[in-house]
């Protein structure tokens, strides 16, 4: 019944397209593609600075049709998106748009829709993207080239087709935070108590104070508002207090986390998700404390240089970097999951220290900003391995070549799957939208 209703809509739109604002331009299986969908995708790509290859009125409908092939198969295979992940992604996108455009009201004006309508459309889009990704992963999950396959693939490539691999480095780090005087901690707490008194007495607005004083610079732009988040997206100490709040007019007690000291105000709860504001203040580390920490690190470095202490042992004994302490200080690239970094992927302070060091050498102590906590720490780093710019080879770049082969095999498999799926799926295209040089010619039977 659903297919016939779509065909009926198609016929009506073809007969009256001169009078209608929107129309069905493609039908793929039981799903229609509307002219408005194509326009919205074109505008979104334009806003986000994405280039569209060729004619957008050919490329975009074909991409939407391919998506519908995957979504149709996902229904048959009972693949669904994790709604918590969908909601989290949508919250991040909405916050990004609000930050870029300036306010929620300006965002609504730009898209000519209410925030609820924008959110609902984003939920559908993100949900579909996640389902399609899972579907593609399922289709390619059996691609597991053997070492022999990888060697054959490598040997089949011409020298010119092998990519140039950038200079990379593996780094071990030992870092700790200089101790903060109790007097400085009390100063920060007293400041937060003053903010709480002003809000609860009605002499100041929480969001205004957050904009003026909060050291969480991103949320401060929104009056301290975090957007809807789940408990797992917050550090435990913060979540325990935030999720126990019930009165939007009250301010929480002072909460200490690894980021500093907070006060929190509830905005709204929706099931297992919460929207709240916060003000973050961080204790200041004095110049004397930094000097003492640098001297301590210099002493540790000297012990390592005279072989009375191994770097790895020093990490276990002294380092406060919980992300590396159990890995002998070896840093992991969050973008790749490997221990290799290109210089631009490292914190600027680290890149500057190791640039002139050789393998096995240890830097002088230095002060750097811990980007995850946005606070200063003192550190020394050791260069475990350096690789200069070179043409990819099996010895140094086995994983990279393996990834190249997996990507090639995956693209071939997906391409063949789409060609087969076209033959078994009902497809109808408005004649005015058929004059395209499609990537997959099987759309028009």
- 330/108 Cα distance (integer angstroms): 46
d(CA 413, CA 308): 56
Q: What's the pLDDT tens digit per position in 189-242?
A: 999 999 999 999 999 999 999 999 999 988 998 899 998 888 888 999 999 999
Q: Is the pLDDT of residue 175 over 70?
A: yes
Q: Give the pLDDT score at 172.
A: 96
Q: Which pLDDT value is given to residue 404?
A: 94
pLDDT on residue 51: 86
Given a contact cutoff of 8 angstroms between Cβ atoms, the answer to whether 69 and 96 are in contact is no
Residue with tokens 């009201």: 105
Give the residue with greater pLDDT, 49 vs 200: 200
Q: Which residues pair with 370 in a beta bridge?
A: 375
Query: Quick one: tokens of 436?
Result: 């395209």
Share of the chain above pLDDT 70, in %: 95
For 290, other C-beta atoms within 10 Å of its C-beta total: 15
Enter the DSSP assignment of 54. Answer: S
Please state which CATH class domain 166-179+286-391 belongs to.
alpha beta
State pLDDT tens for residues 267-297.
999 888 899 999 999 998 888 888 999 999 9
pLDDT at 49: 79
Q: Cβ(63)–Cβ(33) under 8 Å?
A: no
Q: How far apart are the C-alpha atoms of 13 and 272, rounded to whole Å?
A: 43
CATH entry, 2-143+407-443, from 3.40.50.1370, 1.10.4030.10, 3.40.50.720, 1.20.120.1200 = 1.10.4030.10
Q: Could you report the per-residue pLDDT of 96-121, keeping only the tens digit for each? A: 888 888 888 888 888 788 888 888 98
Nearest to 368 by CA among 128, 114, 119, 175: 175
Q: Which two tokens stand for residue 350?
A: 């680290």
Whole-angstrom CA distances from 271 to 80, 84, 229 are 21, 11, 11
Phi and psi at 284, nearest 5°, equal -90, 140
CA dist 273 and 234 (Å) reads 11
Q: Do residues 325 and 316 touch, judged by C-beta distance below 8 A?
A: yes
Residue 372 reports pLDDT greater than 80: no
**Which pLDDT score is estimated for 16?**
37
Please return the burial class of 348, using the count of CB atoms within 10 Å of its CB with bins 0-12, 13-18 and 19+: exposed
Architecture of the domain whose range is 182-281: Roll (3.10)
414-440 in b/e form (b: 16+ CB < 10 A) is: beebbeebbeebebbbbeebeebeeee
Mean pLDDT of 90-101: 83
Between CA 387 and CA 385 the distance in angstroms is: 7
DSSP-derived 3-state class of residue 17: coil
Instruction: Compute φ and ψ for 334, nearest 5 degrees.
Output: -65, -20
SS3 call for 324: coil
Domain residue ranges of the chain, discontinuous segments joined by + = 2-143+407-443, 166-179+286-391, 182-281
Q: Is the pTM of this model over 0.75?
A: no
Reply yes or no on whether the pLDDT at 89 is more than 90: no
Separation in Å, CA 376 to CA 177, 259, 277? 7, 11, 25
Answer yes or no: are the C-beta atoms of 382 and 360 closer than 8 Å.
yes
Domain pair 166-179+286-391 / 182-281, same fold: yes
The side-by-side arrangement of strands in the sheet containing 24-28 is: 31-34, 24-28, 427-429
């Amino acid at each position: 019944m659903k297919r016939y209703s779509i065909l009926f809509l198609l016929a009506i739109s073809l007969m009256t397209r001169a009078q209608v604002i929107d129309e069905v331009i493609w039908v793929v299986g039981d799903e229609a593609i509307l002219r408005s969908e194509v326009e919205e995708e074109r505008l979104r790509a334009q806003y986000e600075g994405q280039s569209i290859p060729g004619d957008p009125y050919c490329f975009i409908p074909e991409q939407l049709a391919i998506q519908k092939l995957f979504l149709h198969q996902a229904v048959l295979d009972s693949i669904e998106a994790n709604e918590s992940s969908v909601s989290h992604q949508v919250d991040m996108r909405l916050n990004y748009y609000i930050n870029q455009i300036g306010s929620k009201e300006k965002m609504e004006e730009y898209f000519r829709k209410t925030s609820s309508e924008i959110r609902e459309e984003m939920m559908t889009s993100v949900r579909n993207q996640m389902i399609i990704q899972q579907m593609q992963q399922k289709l390619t999950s059996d691609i597991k080239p053997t070492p022999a396959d990888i060697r054959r693939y490598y040997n089949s490539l011409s020298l010119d087709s092998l990519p140039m691999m950038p200079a990379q480095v593996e780094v071990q780090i030992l870092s700790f935070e200089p101790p903060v005087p109790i007097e400085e901690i009390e100063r920060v707490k007293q400041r937060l108590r003053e903010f709480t008194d002003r809000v609860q007495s009605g002499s100041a607005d929480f969001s205004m104070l957050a904009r003026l004083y909060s050291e969480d610079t991103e949320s401060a732009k929104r009056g301290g508002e975090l957007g809807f988040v789940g408990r797992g997206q917050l550090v435990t100490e913060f979540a325990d207090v935030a999720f126990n709040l019930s009165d939007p007019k009250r301010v929480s007690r002072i909460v200490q986390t690894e980021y500093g000291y907070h006060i929190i105000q509830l905005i709204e709860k929706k099931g297992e998700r919460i929207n709240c504001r916060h003000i973050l203040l961080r204790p200041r580390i004095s110049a004397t404390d930094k000097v003492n920490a640098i001297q301590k690190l210099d002493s540790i470095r000297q012990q390592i240089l005279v072989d009375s202490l191994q770097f790895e042992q020093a990490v276990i004994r002294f380092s406060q970097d919980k992300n590396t302490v159990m890995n002998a200080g070896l840093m992991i690239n969050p973008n790749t999951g490997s221990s290799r970094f290109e210089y631009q992927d490292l914190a600027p302070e680290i890149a500057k220290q190791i640039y002139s060091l050789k393998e096995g050498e240890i830097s002088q102590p230095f002060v750097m900003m811990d980007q995850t906590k946005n606070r200063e720490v003192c550190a020394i780093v050791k260069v475990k391995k350096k690789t200069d710019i070179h043409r990819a080879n099996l010895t140094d770049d086995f994983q990279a070549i393996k990834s190249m082969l997996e990507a090639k095999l995956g693209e071939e498999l997906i391409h063949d799957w789409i060609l087969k799926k076209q033959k078994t799926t009902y497809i109808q295209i408005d004649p005015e939208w058929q004059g395209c040089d499609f990537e997959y010619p099987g759309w028009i039977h």
